[in-house]
Amino acid sequence: MTDSKQITIAIDGYSSCGKSTLAKSLAQTLNYIFIDTGAMYRAVALFAFKNKWINELEFNSQNLIANLDNINLHFEKNEVTRKPEIYLNGENVESQIRTLEISNLVSRVASIKEVRIKLVSEQQKMGGKGGVVMDGRDIGSVVFPNAEIKFFITAAPKIRAERRYKELLASNSDITLEEIEKNLIERDFLDSTRTESPLIQTVDSILIDNSLITINEQLELALKYVYKKLKKITKF
């Protein structure tokens, strides 16, 4: 008899290198929960932005910290697209958090210790039972250091910028490739050099560089590792 264990899969890596795309497809294939933790940091950045505590030049982090208890986040599946979308205090903010404006603010918000403590604790509750694919920057290092599988995803900055450009162009025709590349490079730098849980590749993670492979090839590759692990830990 097969005892199919539900494992935890952690996916970390640089900005815009397809972590969420991989996480989503893995979760669908395995019938696991998918959690995009970047959406949670983006929603907190949106909250700070709407309250005028942050802009390109200034950040009143003390006001944000004092109001963290007033931020309620949850995900709900969009019945049409079948993808989870994020809600901030009851409002669907999925499209508001994906703008370049929020991308330019989010890394500063994500560097605040109190913000990380709140979100990590929520992420651990959401994924604590296993059967989860979670993507972000600190999943394998901080949120689930004992995850059965850890992937670290990367791709050449130019390729990442071009992919994101095509995506964003659909909703914003004013955007330029240069602006996007600048944002990616800045975020990679801030996310990897911050004091609080910086983005690192843990020694036990599997490195995937997807610069030259397709989304499907990446999924197949990742699934090979997952099935190998499941075979190893499943009792017959």
Tokens 């490739």 found at: 177
Q: Are 53 and 156 in contact (CB under 8 A)?
A: no
Q: 181 is written with which tokens?
A: 């590349």
Minimum CB separation from ligand DC for residue 107, in Å? 4
Phi/psi region, residue 150 (left: phi>0; alpha: psi -120 to 50; beta: rest), is beta
156-178 burial code (b ≥16 CB/10 A, e <16): ebebbbebbbeebeeeeeebeee
Per-residue binding string, ligand DC, 183-222, x by CB under 6 A, is ----x---x-------------------------------
Cβ closest to ligand DC, residue 38 vs residue 127 = 38
Choices 22-30, 38-46, 215-223, 227-235 (CB under 6 A): range interacting with ligand DC: 38-46
| Segment near ligand DC (CB under 6 A); pick from 34-42, 53-61, 73-81, 178-186 | 34-42
Distance CA 125, CA 90 (A): 19
Strand pairing partners for 8?
132
Q: Output the smallest distance, CB 16 to ligand DC, in A.
A: 7
Question: Between β-strands 84-88 and 91-92, what pairing exists: parallel, antiparallel or unpaired?
Answer: antiparallel
Q: How far is the CB of 119 from ligand DC (least distance, A)?
A: 7
Q: CB of 180: closest distance to ligand DC in angstroms?
A: 12
Among residues 24, 118, 137, 163, the one that binds ligand DC under rule CB under 6 A: 137
| Residue 118 binds ligand DC (CB under 6 A) | no
**Using the rule CB under 6 A, is 181 a contact of ligand DC?**
no
15 binds ligand DC (CB under 6 A): yes
Q: How far is 232 from 181, CA to CA, in rounded Å?
A: 41
Closer CB to ligand DC, residue 137 or residue 163?
Answer: 137
- Distance, in Å, from the CA atom of 93 to the CA atom of 70, rounded to the nearest integer, reads 16
Q: Which residues are at the interface with ligand DC (CB under 6 A)?
A: 15, 37-38, 41-42, 106-107, 110, 136-138, 187, 191
